[in-house]
Amino acid sequence: MLTLLFIALMIGVFGKILWFAIKVSWSVVKIVLACVVLPIILVALFALDLAVIVIPVLVIGAIITALAKPAVG
């Protein structure tokens, strides 16, 4: 019986730690994509003379940024 209690608590504790790690890593991935990958893609498209694609993407991004609510907490 004590073993079952130990296993249940172990799953609970490590489950919470795993969930926290997933949340943190997802935040890091979003930051890297927004701050590193997207600008590189836009510069590459512009350098390849595809400004027709880059300008609308930047306009849509500006509109989304202007309308987005700031993150709380």
Q: Does the residue 19 lie in any domain?
A: yes
Q: Does the residue 23 lie in any domain?
A: yes
- pTM to 2 decimals? 0.56
Q: Does the residue 63 lie in any domain?
A: yes
The pLDDT, as a whole number, for residue 46 is 84
The pLDDT, as a whole number, for residue 15 is 87
* Per-residue pLDDT tens listing for the chain (73 residues): 888 888 888 888 888 888 888 888 888 888 888 888 888 988 888 888 888 888 888 888 888 888 887 766 5
Q: Which of 45, 65, 63, 66 is nearest to 54 (CA)?
A: 45
Q: Does the residue 72 lie in any domain?
A: no
The rounded distance, in Å, linking the Cα atoms of 32 and 26 is 10
> What total number of domains does the chain contain?
1
- Residue 73: partners with Cβ closer than 8 Å, 6 or more residues away: none
Are the C-beta atoms of 15 and 7 separated by less than 8 Å? no
Q: Does the residue 73 lie in any domain?
A: no
Q: Does the residue 36 lie in any domain?
A: yes
What's the domain range around 59?
Answer: 2-67
